[in-house]
Homo-oligomer: A and B are copies of this chain.
Amino acid sequence: MENLTVGQYNLIYNAFSFSFATLAAATLFFWLGRSQVIAQYKTALTITGLVTFIAAYHYFRIGQSWSEAYEFVDGTIQATGVPFNDAYRYVDWLLTVPLLLIELILVMGLSRSETISRATRLGVLAALMVALGYPGEIATSNGARWMWGILSMIPFLWIIYELFVGLSKSISDQPENARSLVKTARNVTVLSWAFYPVVYFAGAVGLDGSTSQVVIQVGYTIADIIAKAGFGVLIFLIAVRKSDAKSDGSGSAVPAE
């Protein structure tokens, strides 16, 4: 493995630890918040917490794998020969990315049949997107990285189409006090996800080894925090506001006006 400086090693290590702490805290926030929404939206918050829980687990493992892959020798960082396990990320995404789309569909409170059809279609597309990206991530040649990366953009673009065209009517049917938040959540999904291909291809534009390692690891970490914890807070706020709109507000978790 390329030679990292102590600073680069620590930056990546601390990014993993930061991400674990953030995602674990977010999980408890979402699950505790279930008591503040009406029954219809409890599953959305359960799944929102599952996404951050699964991601927290993987960041804990990623951090362990990172420590095992390197050691301090006379104040420098040396590879131990134990390979860093990149697959944790893809295993995580395979589980969490479909769930992220499903939590958005659930919090929109669509009819049962529309919920099932949209959640299924988006979930399958998301899993396909992740599965197609992995061969490129572990590919040794940049050509393969580009090919698989471009293949996985196809389901990604289809997802964007579904979110902007397929869901547009359902979004405009949202209660007034939640509509703009649902739009924001939809946009945060697309914007934060758009960051992944940037990081992915950063590994293919020929940065030197250790620099691209920093860009890829820190980049994915920031994207995961925004796409899972940040997005989840929006889902929580939507669930709370829609609960207020449907109840007398006694379930409110936000300050009275």
Q: When the two chains form their complex, are residues B39 and A252 in contact, meaning their CB atoms are under 8 A apart? A: yes
Judge if A17 is at the interface, Cβ distance under 8 Å. Answer: yes
Judge if A46 is at the interface, Cβ distance under 8 Å. Answer: yes
Q: When the two chains form their complex, are residues A254 and B18 in contact, meaning their CB atoms are under 8 A apart? A: no
Q: Can you list 18 pairs linking A and B with CB atoms under 8 Å apart?
A: A14-B87, A22-B95, A24-B57, A28-B46, A28-B50, A29-B50, A32-B42, A32-B46, A32-B49, A34-B35, A36-B43, A39-B253, A40-B255, A42-B253, A43-B253, A43-B254, A112-B254, A112-B255
| A18–B115 alpha-carbon span in the complex (Å) | 26
| A91–B15 alpha-carbon span in the complex (Å) | 9
Q: When the two chains form their complex, are residues B85 and A14 in contact, meaning their CB atoms are under 8 A apart? A: yes
Q: When the two chains form their complex, are residues B92 and A21 in contact, meaning their CB atoms are under 8 A apart? A: yes
With a CB–CB cut-off of 8 A, which chain B residues contact A256?
Answer: 40, 109, 111
With a CB–CB cut-off of 8 A, which chain B residues contact A43?
Answer: 33, 36, 253-254
A32 touches which one: B34, B85, B87 (CB < 8 A)? Answer: B34
| A91–B40 alpha-carbon span in the complex (Å) | 36
Binding site for B on A (CB under 8 A): 6, 10, 13-14, 17-18, 20-22, 24-25, 28-29, 31-36, 39-40, 42-43, 46-47, 49-50, 53-54, 57-58, 61, 72-75, 81-83, 85, 87-88, 91-92, 94-95, 106, 109-112, 115, 250-257
With a CB–CB cut-off of 8 A, which chain B residues contact A85?
Answer: 10, 13-14
Q: Chain B's nearest CB lies how many Å from the CB of A113? A: 8
A115 touches which one: B25, B42, B115, B255 (CB < 8 A)? Answer: B255
| A39–B256 alpha-carbon span in the complex (Å) | 10
Q: Which residue of B lies closest to A88 (CB)?
A: B17
Q: When the two chains form their complex, are residues B81 and A253 in contact, meaning their CB atoms are under 8 A apart? A: no
Q: When the two chains form their complex, are residues A53 and B25 in contact, meaning their CB atoms are under 8 A apart? A: yes
A18 touches which one: B35, B42, B49, B94 (CB < 8 A)? Answer: B94
Q: When the two chains form their complex, are residues A54 and B88 in contact, meaning their CB atoms are under 8 A apart? A: no
With a CB–CB cut-off of 8 A, which chain B residues contact A49?
Answer: 28, 32
Q: When the two chains form their complex, are residues A72 and B82 in contact, meaning their CB atoms are under 8 A apart? A: yes
Q: Chain B's nearest CB lies how many Å from the CB of A179? A: 16
A257 touches which one: B6, B34, B74, B112 (CB < 8 A)? Answer: B112
Q: When the two chains form their complex, are residues A10 and B87 in contact, meaning their CB atoms are under 8 A apart? A: yes
